[in-house]
Amino acid sequence: MKTLGAFVRRDFLEQNRYGPFWIGRLGSLFLQVFSTFFTAQLFNGNPALTPYGGNYFAYALVGTLTLQLLVVTMAALPGAVYYAQTQGTLEPLLTSPTPIGAILVAASSFGILTELVGMVLFAGVAWVVDPGVFAQVHWGALGFLLAVHGLCGWGWD
The share of the chain scoring above pLDDT 90, in percent, equals: 0
Q: Which of 31-40, 54-63, 81-90, 144-153 has the lowest mean pLDDT?
A: 144-153
In this prediction, residue 140 has a pLDDT band, given cuts at 50, 70 and 90, of confident
In this predicted structure, the answer to whether residue 157 has a pLDDT above a threshold of 50 is no
Q: Is the pLDDT of residue 33 over 60?
A: yes
Q: Look up the pTM and report it.
A: 0.71
Q: CA-to-CA distance for 25 and 133, rounded, in angstroms? A: 23
Which among 6, 7, 5, 1 has a CA at the least distance from the CA of 107?
A: 7
83 pLDDT band, cuts 50/70/90, is: confident
Residue 8 and residue 96: Cα distance in Å, rounded? 18
How far is CA 112 from its chain centroid? 6
Q: What is the mean pLDDT of the chain?
A: 80
Across 101-107, average pLDDT: 81
Q: Whose CA is closest to 119, among 75, 152, 71?
A: 71
**pLDDT confidence band for 52 (50 / 70 / 90):** low
Find the mean pLDDT for residues 30-53.
Answer: 83
* Res 87 pLDDT > 80: yes
